[in-house]
Amino acid sequence: MSTTVVRNKPSAFGSFLRAVGAIAWKDLAAELRSRELLSAMLVFALLVILIFNFALELDVKTRATITSGVLWVTFAFAGTLGLNRSMAVEKDRGCLDGLLLAPVDRSAIYFGKVISNLAFMLIVEAIVLPVYSILYNTNLFSLGLVGVILLGSIGYVAVGTLLSSMAVQTRTRDVMLPILLFPVVVPVLVAAVKASSGFLQSIPISEILPWLNLLVVYDIIFIAVAFMTFDYVVEE
Amino acid sequence: MIEVRKLLKRFGPKTVLRALDFHVEPGEFVVLLGPNGAGKTTFLRILASLSRPSLGQVSIAGHALPEQAAEVRRALGVVSHLPLLYGDLTAEENLQFYGRMYDLQNLDSRVTEVLQLVGLENRRRDLVRTFSRGMQQRLAIGRAVLHDPEVMLFDEPYTGLDQDASAMLDEVLRNVAARGRTVVMTSHDLARAEELGSRFDVLSRGVIAASCSQKELGASNLLSFYKQALAA
């Protein structure tokens, strides 16, 4: 321990951003090596759309109306798996304590986890969409749909990361997260399904706009709520 | 360096710490003894700002908890019986990650130095999940000293360690003490505590039941002091 330890110049926002980046980098680096979380989410998501494909004998018109529902059910269930695993990794080896001991605002932990969880969810969605498109013979390539998926995923992950950090403290954490998450995330899922469906059926944007507004407002509100409450959620 | 006044901690109806007073001078090596369930870990978690006291005042390195928690955390290094390390990252990546969390500069040279200190330089690129318990604990110590903290908290650091790893931990603890760092360690190993500590406090029934320095202990051994403290 001979060299002098030098810290960056005190800058609350700079330290905050560096901590957010460090947490996201750590999660992505660990996942790229183990692929535990992504492979579980991906296999689960592909199985769900495959089961729906066999279960529903659909004509072209009906297919267009149920696509957004099937997609969002798939994303929501696969996302729950990822959120649970992402926080369990922190808890199991005491790493959550390691993060909480760092001299940064604790909301940096939340935002770091949100970024990595969102990245995992978007990777799964990017793989599921073309597979769905082939299996159901449906064209899903629409910029509007991509926007909705992004907004919906942000809302889902924003709430899910906060609630998974609560659920992970309980003994029944695997079942606790869906029980806590799904009632709270209903507005996101409803708005995302309606907006996705609107883009897929080429409904005028004026009719889709209220659902997009709801998604944006939900995202902002829950990110703000998480920012204010995360410290209390993770503290004993 | 550490000042605790009238600390009370309740978990629901159960009171674990009852108006506990505790004071540590800079450079002291305090070993906190006590039976299982006495509240040692709870007490250290409060000092580490991981748990909020129900009542009472805590200040470390001149900073009060919980108001100045970030400053307190910057002054603290914590080692528990869990390694607080990521198995899917290498030893080097773990230290770099924690270095970024502590906002350290010259991280590469500091990481190399710490890996040398804990004797893991030749395993720096190996995944932590391939490490033995002893090696993980050595790296956990490296993580705790990475930012060169003024105060170190060790919660049962010898749990699950073999002879070699325990000897290595002894060396690191002596090194930390020799550099004038303040140390609070909980332990059930009285022989090791007697060898390392400059003061011994016994936590029993939620308060510090007895305290004595290495000098005051004199010729009598720590075991008899400990038994008397518990019997009182």
Please give the structure tokens belonging to residue A122. Answer: 């978007």
Inter-chain contact B84–A5, Cβ cutoff 8 Å?
Answer: no
In chain B, positions 105-134, which contact chain A (CB-CB < 8 Å)? Answer: 105-106, 109-110, 113-114, 117, 127
Q: Is A8 on the interface with B (CB under 8 A)?
A: yes
Q: Does the pLDDT value for residue A236 go beyond 70?
A: no
Inter-chain contact A101–B103, Cβ cutoff 8 Å?
Answer: no
Residue of A8, A99, A101 lying closest to B105 (CB–CB): A8
Beta-carbon contacts below 8 Å between A and B? 111
Q: Is A1 on the interface with B (CB under 8 A)?
A: yes
The predicted pLDDT at position A8 comes to 65
Q: Is A22 on the interface with B (CB under 8 A)?
A: yes
pLDDT level of residue A169 (50, 70, 90 thresholds): confident
Q: Is A32 on the interface with B (CB under 8 A)?
A: no
In chain B, positions 181-210, which contact chain A (CB-CB < 8 Å)? Answer: none
**Residues with Cβ < 8 Å from A232, sequence gap 6 or more?**
none
Q: Which of A114-123, A206-215, B75-84, B217-226 has the lowest mean pLDDT?
A: B217-226
Inter-chain contact A102–B78, Cβ cutoff 8 Å?
Answer: no
Mean of the per-residue pLDDT values of chain A: 89
pLDDT level of residue A3 (50, 70, 90 thresholds): low
ipTM attached to this prediction: 0.89
The predicted pLDDT at position A1 comes to 52
Inter-chain contact A18–B103, Cβ cutoff 8 Å?
Answer: yes
Mean pLDDT of A121-137: 92
Please give the structure tokens belonging to residue B25. Answer: 């001078």
A8 CA: distance to closest CA in chain B (Å): 6
Residue of A33, A94, A104 lying closest to B101 (CB–CB): A104
Inter-chain contact A98–B84, Cβ cutoff 8 Å?
Answer: yes
CB A151 within 8 A of CB A219: yes
The per-residue pLDDT for range B74-117, each reduced to its tens digit, is 999 999 888 899 999 999 999 999 999 998 988 999 999 999 98
B142 CA: distance to closest CA in chain A (Å): 10
Inter-chain contact A93–B102, Cβ cutoff 8 Å?
Answer: no
Q: Is A18 on the interface with B (CB under 8 A)?
A: yes
**Domains of chain B with CATH codes:** 1-75+149-160+181-232 (3.40.50.300)
The predicted pLDDT at position B32 comes to 93
CA distance A63 to A61: 5
Q: For residue B50, which residues of chain A lie inside 8 Å, CB to CB?
A: 97, 100-101, 235-236
The predicted pLDDT at position A73 comes to 93
Mean pLDDT of A172-197: 91
In chain A, positions 105-164, which contact chain B (CB-CB < 8 Å)? Answer: 105
CA distance A156 to A159: 6
Q: Is A190 on the interface with B (CB under 8 A)?
A: no
Inter-chain contact B89–A30, Cβ cutoff 8 Å?
Answer: yes
Please give the structure tokens belonging to residue B116. Answer: 């040398």
The per-residue pLDDT for range A35-82, each reduced to its tens digit, is 888 999 999 999 999 888 888 776 767 777 788 999 999 999 999 999
More confident residue, B230 or A1: B230
The predicted pLDDT at position A164 comes to 92
The predicted pLDDT at position B219 comes to 67
B82 CA: distance to closest CA in chain A (Å): 6
The predicted pLDDT at position B66 comes to 84
The predicted pLDDT at position B218 comes to 74
In chain B, positions 62-91, which contact chain A (CB-CB < 8 Å)? Answer: 70-71, 73-74, 76, 78, 80, 82-89
Mean pLDDT of A138-162: 92
B147 CA: distance to closest CA in chain A (Å): 6
**DSSP string of chain A?**
--SPP-BPPP-HHHHHHHHHHHHHHHHHHHHHHH-HHHHHHHHHHHHHHHHHHHH----HHHHHHHHHHHHHHHHHHHHHHHHHHHHHHHHHTTHHHHHHTSSS-THHHHHHHHHHHHHHHHHHHHHHHHHHHHHTT-----HHHHHHHHHHHHHHHHHHHHHHHHHTTSTTHHHHHHHHHHHHHHHHHHHHHHHHHHHHTT--HHHHHHHHHHHHHHHHHHHHHHHHHHHHHH--
Q: Is B53 on the interface with A (CB under 8 A)?
A: no
Q: Does the pLDDT value for residue A2 go beyond 60?
A: no
The predicted pLDDT at position A110 comes to 94
The owner of tokens 């708005």 is: A191
Q: Which residues of chain B carry a pLDDT beneath 50? A: none
Q: For residue A101, which residues of chain B lie inside 8 Å, CB to CB?
A: 48-50, 73, 76, 78, 84
The per-residue pLDDT for range A186-205, each reduced to its tens digit, is 999 999 999 999 998 889 99
pLDDT level of residue A6 (50, 70, 90 thresholds): low
